[in-house]
Amino acid sequence: MSTTIDGSASVTINSGAILGITSGTAVASTSGTSIDFTGLPAWVKRVTVMFQGVSTSGTSNPQIQIGSGSVTTTGYLGSGGIGPTMGASTNTTGFSLTNSYSGTVVFHGKAEICLMGSNVYVFSFVGGRSDTGSLMWGGGSVTLGGALDRVRITTVGSPATDTFDLGNINILYE
C-alpha cells in the first residue's frame, strides 16, 4: 500500500507486518529456573528484554537464550561482565548478563536482540545493581536455523538448581 503524506512524499507500507512496538506481559521472576516468551511473529526484527529488580537464589550467571522452533543452547559468541573490575567471561550456551553472580545480586536493565540478517542475531545488555554500585554488561551473537520465535531468560548452571526469587521481566518486540 502506498500513500502520499503532505503531498510531497510517498511511503510504501509492508501489508504483512504490524507497525509499532508490541509489549509482552510482565512476568514475576519469583520462582522457577527459566522464564519463556514464545509465539513471537516471524516479522520480528528486534526484541528488548527488560529486567526490574531481578535476583536468583544462587551463583549461576543469568543468561538469555533464543530460538526458532526450540531454544538454542549452543553456538553463542560473546561475553558478559560486572563492575567495578569489569572482568568478562565467555559463555557459549546463551547470552551472558554478567561474569560473576551471587544470590545477593539485584539487577535492573535491558537487553536488545536484533536481526542482523540471514538468521544472525546480535545481542547487547546493560544493567545496574541496586544491592551495590556495580554495572552489568554483555554482548554477543548467534545464528539460528530460522526466524526468532522465542526468548528464554534462565539461571542455567551446573546443576541448574538456582531459581528466580525477586523482580519482574518483560519483553517488547518490533
Identify the structural domains of the chain with CATH numbers, from first to last.
21-173 (2.60.120)
- Report the pLDDT value the prediction gives residue 86, as an integer from 0 to 100: 59
- Taking the C-alpha atoms of residue 141 and residue 154, their distance in angstroms, rounded to an integer, is 17
Strand partners, 15: none
- Report the pLDDT value the prediction gives residue 87, as an integer from 0 to 100: 63
Strand partners, 21: none
The amino acid at 63:
Q
The amino acid at 135:
L
Give the contacts of 101 (CB within 8 A, at least 6 positions apart). Answer: 56, 59, 60, 61, 62, 82
Of 108, 106, 125, the closest CA to residue 166 belongs to 106
The amino acid at 97:
L
- Report the pLDDT value the prediction gives residue 7, as an integer from 0 to 100: 52
Q: Max Cα separation, the chain?
A: 63
Low-confidence ranges of the chain (pLDDT < 70): 1-19, 84-88, 157-160
* 3-class secondary-structure state, position 96: strand
The amino acid at 10:
S
- Report the pLDDT value the prediction gives residue 81, as an integer from 0 to 100: 84
- Taking the C-alpha atoms of residue 96 and residue 91, their distance in angstroms, rounded to an integer, is 6
Of 146, 90, 156, 96, the closest CA to residue 121 belongs to 146
What pTM was estimated for this model as a whole?
A: 0.86
Neighbours of 136 (CB within 10 A): 26
- Taking the C-alpha atoms of residue 47 and residue 69, their distance in angstroms, rounded to an integer, is 16
- Report the pLDDT value the prediction gives residue 35, as an integer from 0 to 100: 96
Burial class (CB in 10 A: 0-12, 13-18, 19+), 4: exposed
For 165, the grid coordinates are 526469587
